[in-house]
Structure 1
Amino acid sequence: MLAPTPASPESAGMSTPALNRLEAHLKARYIDAGRFPGTQLLIYRRGKIVHSTVQGFADLERKVPVKDDTIYRIYSMTKPITSVAFMMLVEEGRVAIDEPVAKYIPEWKNLGVFLAGNAPAFLTRSPSRPMLIVDLLRHTSGLTYGFQQRSNVDAAYREHKIGEVEKAGSLDSMIEGLAKIPLEFSPGEAWNYSVATDVLGYLVGKISGMPFEQFLKERIFKPLGMNDTDFFVPADKAHRFAACYSADPQGGFNPLAAERKGTLTLQDDPTTSSFLSPPSLVSGGGGLCSTAADYLTFCRALLNGGELGGVRLLGPKTLKLMTSNHLPGGVDLPAMSRSLFSEAAYNGIGFGLGFAVTMHPSQTLIAGSPGEFNWGGAATTSFFIDPAEELITIFMTQVLPSSAYPLRRELRTMVYAAITESNL
C-alpha cells in the first residue's frame, strides 16, 4: 500500500507551532518526568501525514530509542479490527447482527443472569431476552472482564483465567468456560467492557471456516500491506519490539507538581515476552501487536469509507452503521456503564459497533466533532478518527494502565487546538 505524502501542517490547515507545543508537552510532562519511556505520535489530515515524531526510549533498560517502525502491543486497539472483520461477514450475508449468539454457540443457550453466590454455586435468573450479536459488538452482552474486580462474576473469570491474553487456553476453551459462568446482567440492560470482542473473533473463525488469525491476515492485513501487524512478533522483528511498563503515579497525578516524578516498572521484557511466539488463545479483544504506520493504514481505510488503494474492507453505509451510537435509547456511556474502565466516564460519548462515538462535543467538555470515533489500548495506545475534519491521530507508548494519566484528554485537546482551518 502506497504510503501517504508527508507535508507541512499548514498545507492541511494545521499549525506547526501548536504541534510543537504538543511534543514539548509530551517530553516535559511525561518523558522527562519519568512517566512514559517514550512516545510516537502520528497525525494525518486531508490526505497527508502532517506530523510524525518519536521521542524517548522503546526499551529503557537497553536504551533502545523509539523509531518509526517500533512494534507495540496495541491490546484493545485490536477490537476495532476484529469488529470490522465481523462486519465483513455481515456484508456477505453470512450472519446478521440481530441474531441470537446461541445460534452459533449452542452451549450458551441457557446462560443465566447472576443473582447471588460464588463459583460454582451461583444462583441465577433467566435473562429478559437472549444475547444478540449486536450486544457483543457494543458491549451490552452481560459478559465482563476479570480485571474489573467488582463482582463475584469477575472473580469467576479470574479463577478460570478467561480473557487473559498471556495465559494458557484457546478460543474454544474460553467459550466452554464462559458457558459455566452467569452473565453480569440481562443483555441490553447495561454497558460493560468485556471479553465480547474475543467472542466475536471466535465467531469470525466459526462462520468463515478458517482460523480467526488467518481471516485477518488474508482479508485485512495482506491486502492493505499491514505487514507488521500480527498476534506475535517474529524473530526477525524482535529487535523492533518495545518493552512494556507499569506506571506508578505515586499517589495520583498532579500536573502542577512538576517535581513529582512518576516511576516505571518493567512489566513485559521484549526479549522474553510471550508475544514472541504464536499464542494459544488468539485474542480478538486484545492480542495484536502493530506499528503506528500499520494502524494508520487501517484508519485511513476507515476514514475513506472502508476502502484504501483499491482494497475495500467495508461499504460506507456499513461503516456509518458501525460509527453510530447503538446504546439502547440513544443514551451515552455514563448513563449505561457498569464498567470500571476509564473510557466510559465521558458525557456525550456513545458506543457503536466496535468504537466509542462522539455524539455531543459540548457535553464531553473536550474539543471534537459529532461522529468522531475512537478507541485505545491498555498500554496507553490510542487513536481517533474525525471524518468531518478528515483527521486521524495515532498515539503509541507502552505504559499500563491507560488510566494512570489523563493523556488521551490532553492529546485530543491539543490536536484539535492545532487545527487552523476547520471543515465545520
Structure 2
Amino acid sequence: MSELHDILGKHVGDGRAPGAVALVARGDRVEVAAVGSTDAGGGTPMARDSIFRIASLTKPIMAAAVMTLVDEGRIALDSPVARWLPELASPKVVRTPESPLDDVVPAARPITVEDLLTFRAGYGFPDDFSLPAVAPLFAELLQGPPQPQAVAAPDAWMAALGRIPLLCQPGEAWLYNACSDIQGVLAARVSGLPLPDFLAERIFEPLGMTDTGFAVPAADLGRFTGYYRAGSADRGGLELVDPQDGQWSTPPAFPSGAGGLVSTVDDVYAFARMLLGEGTLDGRRVLSPAAVRQMMTDHLTPAQRDGSRLFLLGQGWGFGGSVDVEPQEPWNVPGRYGWIGGTGTASHIVPSTGTATILLTQLELTGPSPLPDAMNDFWRYAANG
C-alpha cells in the first residue's frame, strides 16, 4: 500500500467517510489511491473509476466553458449580459446589505460577463447569511446543497432571479455561488444548446471526460457512490443524503453550473491537465493560453478578499476557482488554482510546478470552514511528497 492510501485510510470507516479516491500528479508522476467502499454498507469496493457528485468542482469547468465563447468572440468580458439574460436588464440593488427587500436603488451599471466570472455581479452568498437579500436565494432558487431534481427549469429560474434584488452593486463585492448558475444559463442561450450538450461539445468530448455529466446513466450506477452527512446513528454514524439511484439517476430540469456535475478522478485530472497545458491536452486545444491565464489570475481587490473570509480564507478568486495569494499553510502556494465542493471534494493545480491534486469523498462538508482533517492531511502530503 502507498503512503497516500494510508493517509486516506485514516479518514475512512468507523462512522467516517465510507470511501475516497485521491490523485496526486507531479509532472508525469501520477499516484492514485482508492480506499473504502462506495456506500456505508461496505458493499462495492471503491475504485479508480468510481463516480462522485463533485459539487462546486463544477464551477471551474463552467467558467472554462464560458471562456470558449470569449475565445470565439461570441461574447466579451465587458459585454453586458442583458442581451442574453433580459431578466437582468434592469436590476435593483438593496440600498445597504442590511436593507429589507423593498428598500432598493437602481444598479449603477449593467452586469457584465466578467462580473459573473469573478462572482462580483451582486448575486450570491456573503459571510452573513442572515441578510434579508440572502433568504430568497434559498427560498426561490434552492441555492443550498445540490438538489438537482428540486430546481425549476432555467427560464423559470431566471424569472425568479430577476425578482430578487442584488445584495451589492455590480463589481463591488465578491459573493459566492449564484454566478456560476447564471453562467450556465448564459452559455446555453449564447450557444443555442442545452447546457449539458454545450459542456459535452466544448469540454467533455475534447478532453475525453466520458464519465462527467449532470446524471449517471443506468448502466453506470454500479460505479456511482452514495452521498452522506455526519451526525446520525443510522448507518454507522452516517446519514444517507442521496443513494446511487437517487437525484442524479435522471437528468435535471436545471443543470447547475454551480454544483450539478458528477465525475471521476481521471476526468477531473483531464481537466486539470488541460489547464496545466495552457488550454491544450494531448494536442487538442480547448482554450487559448490567454483564457487560461485569466482563469487562474486573482481579480479581486484586497478589500474584496477580506470581505469573505468565511469562503475565501484569504485567497483570491480567478474565474471559477480560488487563487492562493496569502500562503497560510505549507500547501498554499502563490498561484495555486482550484476549489472545493460541498460533497467533500477538492481539486487544485500549481502551474509553476506542474502539480495537480484531486480528492473525492462522499461526506458532506459541515460548512465553508473549517475544512475537514482529511483534506488538510491530503494537501499536506501532496505538498511534502
User: Do they superpose with TM above 0.5?
Assistant: yes
Q: How far is 1:359 from its partner?
A: 2.1
CA distance in 1, matches of 2:252, 2:118: 26
Bigger shift: residues 33-42 or 87-96: 33-42
Which secondary structure state, in structure 1, belongs to the residue aligned with residue 240 of structure 2? Answer: strand
Question: How far apart are residue 295 of structure 1 and its match?
Answer: 0.9
Consecutive unaligned residues in structure 2, runs of 5 or more: none
Structure 1 residues 277 and 324: alpha-carbon distance in aligned structure 2, compared to 1, 3 A threshold: same
Equivalence map 1:380-399=2 (5 Å)? 380-399=344-363
Cα deviation digits, residues 353-393 of structure 1 (max 9, x gap): 112111242xx233343211011111111111011111111
- Equivalent in the alignment of 1:84: 64
Quote the offset at 1:117 in angstroms: 6.5
1:44 paired to 2:15: no
Find out whether 1:268 has 2:235 as its counterpart: no
Tell me if the contact between 2:148 and 2:247 (Cα under 8 Å) persists in the aligned partners: no
> Structure 2 CA distance, aligned partners of 1:412 and 1:318?
27
CA distance in 1, matches of 2:366, 2:351: 25
Could you tell me which residue of structure 2 aligns to residue 359 of structure 1?
Answer: 325
Deviations, residues 329-366 of structure 1 (Å, cap 9, x unaligned): 3x27641327x54xx12x3x2101112111242xx233
| Range with greater deviation from structure 2 (158-167 or 179-188) | 158-167
- Corresponding residue of 1:317: 290
Q: Give 1:100's match in structure 2, choosing from 47, 72, 80.
A: 80
Counterpart amino acid of 2:177? S
Deviations 1:233-257 (A, max 9, x none): 010001111000012399xxxxxxx
> TM-score by structure 2 length?
0.91
Give 1:38 deviation, angstroms. 0.9
After TM superposition, which residue ranges in structure 1, 4 or more long, deviate above 6 angstroms?
none
**Matching of residue 71 in structure 1 with residue 54 in structure 2:** no
Match of 2:213 in 1: 230
| Aligned mates of 2:222, 2:255 — CA distance in 1 | 23
- Within 2, Cα distance between the matches of 1:352 and 1:74? 19
The question of 1:371 aligning with 2:335 is answered yes
Q: CA–CA distance in 2 between the matches of 1:35 and 1:114?
A: 42
Task: Report the alpha carbon displacement of residue 397 of structure 1 after superposing the two structures with TM.
Answer: 0.5
Structure number with larger C-alpha Rg? 1
Pick which of 75-84 and 160-169 moved more: 160-169
1:407 is aligned to 374
Q: Which amino acid aligns with 1:407?
A: A
Provide the rounded CA distance (Å) in 1 between the counterparts of 2:225 and 2:269: 18
CA distance in 2 between counterparts of 1:192 and 1:136 reads 10
2:253 alignment partner in structure 1: 280
CA distance in 2, matches of 1:55, 1:149: 36
Q: Any idea what SS the aligned residue of 1:125 has?
A: strand
- CA deviations 1:188-238 (Å, max 9, x no partner) are 221110211111111111111211111111222122211111100010001
Q: State which of 275, 284, 291 in structure 2 corresponds to 1:302.
A: 275
Structure 1 residues not aligned, in runs of 5+: 1-15, 251-261, 419-424
Partner Cα separation in structure 2 for residue 149 and residue 336 of structure 1: 13
Partner AA of 2:50 in structure 1: T
Q: Structure 1 residue 145: deviation in Å? A: 5.1
Question: What does 1:115-134 align with in structure 2 at a 5 Å threshold?
Answer: 115=95, 122-134=102-114
TM-superposed CA distance for 1:314, in Å, is 0.6
Would the aligned equivalents of 1:366 and 1:409 in 2 still touch at CA under 8 Å?
Answer: no
Give the % identical residues: 34
The one-letter amino acid of 1:206's match is R
1:217 matched to which residue of 2? Answer: 200
Deviation of 1:62 after TM superposition, in Å, equals: 5.5
CA-to-aligned-CA distance 1:141-165 (integer Å, 9 cap, x gap)? 1112599743222221222134453
CA RMSD for the aligned pairs? 2.4
